[in-house]
């Protein structure tokens, strides 16, 4: 046995080492795009164990790949193929250390699965609002390290906004206890901000103090028909002005998206008797019980109809109807996959620029790649578009996938012209590590490297990711 | 003329240099506790001018003290007495560069006075929620550099939460353009977080993209009588659970605070016919017009009364009454000053710990300093207490002020035992720079120094502050 592995074995014991035959799931990313070969996969059970493992790796100059639920979409938690990096999987550290309902906080370990935290909050009569497709298996340490977004950002912010304190094992193996549960603390640099969204390149997040919110007790869900994305922005403003923080969801999808969902999911039905160019899925919620929020939705959408801002609207009359409307939005990704190969983009731009961005980028793509089919949808309330490009009818997967770099170039260059971001909510990982160099200023890249070198001078924390 | 001053004169012209006879207001802090002697006071008009001045100082190894409205309470913007530091005052850079109402953002220069930004937002039909006592003269660059709090934190967060992008002149004189207007951007380290709250020790913030919100169009204000601070927390939870984000203000003050206000402000009146131990000032607001929010306040407070959570409540029936109730809270600081010398503390602790913190710290202080009078109030919804200690009746100012270190020691040690912060919203500046070393771990101080040395290797940015 390698001397370092032997030392780690002494720290974590047999239960903390994955046997060679079981390593595969930890060595591959969720989308199966990256396959690595780890020196060893370590699953420590306590913070001191994490600290000792990191110190051992630092002394041996061996790189560490922190990993949670391994559901990331950019290969940020996959080791390289050298056989020299260790995977440090935090899944065994899954205790909820405390819930303080009068402080509206919850102190949790990195390995807690997100859905379990949502449930624990609800049992305490509170809401933990972070919500995303992988919530049944992703872990909060990964959510923190990628500053995850999801469906509740419009009202509650990204993961970064949900954190009051962190505990981090630094690249030296020291434990930084920043587990404060304070809403105001201006005593120097806000160090936790460095580790949130750093994708494990500056240290290993082992625990966090998270904010809790009041539970929503009434809800209204609607699908609205629109002439174009510009009207969607007008509707968004109307709803923000009229309904304020009650607006918890505002998703846009084009008729092509709806068409794919209706085609591939036989249990779905169109929201209107006729088809329209665009649709917005709107959700209002309130801490109050009763029908007030439904009445408000009706009044606001009625006024929008009268002002010719929208073309039609259907408001769910039951939980089942609300869930059926949400399915039209939630099934888009899978429907697109059934339809054939496609090239995905997770981009954000200033909300005001979304209609113009879609218009000019669609034109550029159609010119350069005749026949491509646009499947555009996303969290428009946050400026986040999943701007996806499907192959022209009849084009085979391999031929179209070869176009990925050329398509990315057009889309990402357009994003840059609109002062947007080429990774809104998924991070950089390995996937966009090279791509970002084209779009970030040399000065900003240098600042990032300065921070990296200052905090991780040996370069052992997740090398090959982000930077 | 000093060679550097001559060079700076060449960069900013005569309008950009304060003449020696007019330097005094820039050399002293707002509370007149620190008086410095600057080499020169520079008021650049543009970002390139700032960059050139910083570069000149870097080359000459001369320290820079960034300054805005100079209303800080910890001496963070005052030069030392050596005559060797320059004051870089940003007040001339006061343009609102853009308001994007569909993106709900405003791009502003550092020298904009906060009240002007509130007005500009309102003219655009939006709310910029940052609000604090100095808003008529403080500047947004200072608010950003101190991560200012204020009266709207409960609902909208600290200044940090209100920022999407920054423009910063780095200690090298390079300009970092991080002026993004995006709600989601996960492309590497979130560098803006470093400069927010750094009190000018890492660079000079020259502009920012700020978030705007829907305007509140109805409001309910009440003062509630309470038996003790524990009941205040129960009421806070009731209001959060029932009213959600409508709760925009939740301030607590003791009967001793009310007594001082009634004594020193003859135009104020007690909220109730009899006196109670504690009072909460509660404010609800909503984007909806009409009386819904007033009805909600009445119902929520009625239920609290029935449940014996509160002892009495008075709800304002007009704008004038609401403003009279707010005055009871707003006049406390000044009333306390009229009453004689006092020792102030701006602390935060987990909200759930506030009653116990007040109880045990009051006892400790009374033991060590018999006769001191507690004047405790604050933004309890944020866990932020202004825990102020007035001299015993008949004790002269100088004798009491001599007790400051001993009183601070008791209060701050108690804050530390409750896992709190000794500077909730005012920063460290010069005032608490030494004090913080007692309460932050050596590892955290070392991390802060690592960041400082990495970004400002020459140590020219606001030396002697924070670290």
Contacts A384 to B, Cβ<8 Å: 183-184
Q: Side by side, which strands form the sheet with A40-42? A: A40-42, A86-89, A64-67
Summary mean pLDDT of chain B: 96
Q: How far, in Å, are B45, B52, B90 from residue B49 at the CA level?
A: 7, 5, 11
Those of residues 225-254 in A touching chain B at CB distance below 8 A are 233, 236-237, 240-245
B349/A197 touch (CB, cutoff 8 Å), yes or no:
no
From CA A206, how far away is CA A204, in angstroms rounded? 6
Of residues A184, A440, A443, nearest to B382 (C-beta): A184
Q: Is B173 on the interface with A (CB under 8 A)?
A: no
**How confident is the model over B342-366, as pLDDT tens digits?**
899 999 999 999 999 999 999 999 9
How many residue pairs from chains A and B have C-beta atoms closer than 8 A? Answer: 267
In terms of CA atoms, which chain B residue is nearest residue A184? B424
Residue of B174, B180, B114, B172 whose CA lies nearest to B141:
B114
E strand residue ranges, B287-397: 312-315, 342-343, 346-348, 373-379, 384-390
The CA distance from B55 to the nearest CA of chain A, in Å, is 16
Beta bridge partners of A175: A169
In chain A, the residue whose alpha carbon lies closest to the alpha carbon of B434 is A187
Report the alpha-carbon distance of residue B190 to residue A163 in Å, rounded.
15
pLDDT computed for residue B396 by the predictor: 84
Strand bridging mode B384-390 / B342-343: antiparallel
Interface check B193 vs A, CB under 8 A: yes
Residues 6+ apart with CB under 8 A from B20: none
pLDDT beneath 50: ranges in chain A: none
Q: Is the pLDDT of residue B151 over 90?
A: no
Map tokens 């101190």 to a residue.
B146
B23: helix, coil or strand? coil
3-state secondary structure of A209: strand
pLDDT number for residue A341: 83
> Which residues in chain A touch residue B352, judged by CB atoms under 8 angstroms apart?
100-103
Judged by a CB distance cut-off of 8 A, whether residue B453 touches chain A is yes
Q: What is the pLDDT of residue B331?
A: 94
pLDDT at A151: 86
Query: In this complex, do B428 and A187 lie within 8 Å of one another by their Cβ atoms?
Result: yes
Q: A248-297: per-residue pLDDT in tens?
A: 999 999 999 999 999 999 999 999 999 999 999 999 999 999 888 999 99
Got the DSSP string for B377-444? Answer: EEEGGGTEEEEEEEPPTT--HHHHHTTHHHHHHHHHHHHHHTT-BS-SSS--TTTTTTTHHHHS-HHH
CB atoms within 10 A of CB B267: 7
Residue matched to tokens 């913070």: A47
pTM over 0.80: yes
Q: Do A186 and B103 touch (CB under 8 A)?
A: no
Q: Name residue, tokens 């390139």.
A: B48
pLDDT of residue A81: 97
Among candidate residues B279, B276, B237, the one with its CA nearest the CA of residue B378 = B279
Q: How far is B217 from chain A (nearest CA, A)?
A: 9
pLDDT digits (tens, 9 = 90+) for B413-424: 999 999 999 999
Instruction: Check if B152 contacts A (Cβ < 8 Å).
Output: no
Query: Percent of chain B, pLDDT > 70?
Result: 100
- Secondary structure (DSSP) of A90-123: -TT---EEEEETTTTEEEEETT-BHHHHHHHHHH
What's the pLDDT band for B31 if we cut at 50, 70, 90? confident
Say which of B177, B241, B423 has its CB closest to residue A186. B423
Q: Are strands A384-390 and A346-348 parallel, antiparallel or unpaired?
A: antiparallel
Q: What is the pLDDT of residues B385-397, one digit of tens each?
A: 999 999 998 888 8
Q: Which of residues 281-340 of A touch B (CB under 8 A)?
A: 286-288, 292, 296
Question: What is the pLDDT, as a whole number, of residue A1?
Answer: 66
CB B68 within 8 A of CB B91: yes
């Amino acid at each position: 046995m390698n001397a370092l592995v032997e030392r780690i074995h002494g720290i974590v014991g047999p239960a903390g080492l994955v046997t060679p035959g079981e390593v595969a799931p930890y060595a591959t990313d969720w989308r199966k795009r990256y396959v690595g070969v780890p020196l060893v996969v370590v699953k420590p059970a306590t913070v001191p164990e994490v600290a000792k493992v990191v110190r051992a790796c630092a002394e041996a100059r061996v790189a560490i790949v922190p990993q949670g639920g391994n559901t990331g979409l950019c290969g940020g938690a996959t080791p390289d193929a050298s056989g020299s990096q260790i995977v440090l999987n935090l899944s065994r550290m899954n205790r909820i250390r405390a819930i303080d309902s009068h402080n509206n906080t919850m102190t949790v370990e990195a390995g807690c699965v997100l859905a379990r935290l949502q449930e624990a909050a609800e049992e305490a009569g509170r809401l933990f609002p972070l919500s995303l497709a992988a919530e049944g298996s992703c872990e909060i340490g990964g959510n923190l390290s990628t500053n995850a977004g999801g469906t509740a950002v419009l009202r509650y912010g990204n993961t970064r906004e949900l954190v009051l304190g962190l505990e981090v094992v630094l690249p030296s193996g020291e434990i930084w206890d920043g587990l404060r549960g304070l809403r105001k603390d201006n005593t120097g640099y806000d160090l936790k901000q460095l580790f949130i969204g750093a994708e494990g390149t500056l240290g290993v997040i082992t625990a966090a103090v998270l904010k809790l919110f009041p539970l929503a007790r009434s809800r209204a869900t609607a699908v609205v028909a629109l002439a174009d994305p510009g009207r969607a922005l007008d509707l968004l403003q109307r709803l923000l002005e009229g309904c304020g923080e009650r607006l918890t969801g505002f998703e846009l999808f084009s008729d092509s998206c709806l068409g794919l969902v209706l085609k591939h999911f036989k249990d779905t039905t169109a929201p209107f008797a006729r088809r329209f160019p665009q649709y917005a899925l709107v959700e209002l919620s309130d801490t109050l019980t009763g029908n007030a929020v439904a009445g408000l939705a009706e009044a606001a959408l009625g006024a929008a109809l009268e002002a010719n801002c929208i073309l039609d609207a259907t408001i769910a009359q039951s939980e089942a109807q609300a869930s059926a409307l949400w399915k039209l939005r939630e099934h888009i990704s899978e429907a697109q996959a059934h339809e054939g190969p496609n090239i995905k983009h997770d981009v954000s731009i200033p909300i005001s620029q979304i209609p113009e961005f879609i218009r000019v980028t669609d034109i550029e793509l159609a010119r350069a790649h005749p026949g491509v089919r646009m499947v555009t949808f996303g969290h428009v309330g946050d400026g986040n578009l999943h701007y996806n490009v499907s192959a022209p009818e009849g084009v085979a997967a391999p031929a179209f996938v070869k176009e990925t770099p050329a398509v990315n170039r057009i889309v990402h260059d357009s994003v840059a012209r609109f002062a947007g971001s080429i990774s809104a909510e998924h991070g950089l990982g390995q996937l966009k590590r090279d791509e970002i160099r084209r779009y970030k200023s040399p000065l900003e890249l240098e600042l990032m490297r300065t921070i990296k070198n200052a905090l991780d001078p040996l370069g052992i924390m997740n090398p090959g990711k982000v930077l």
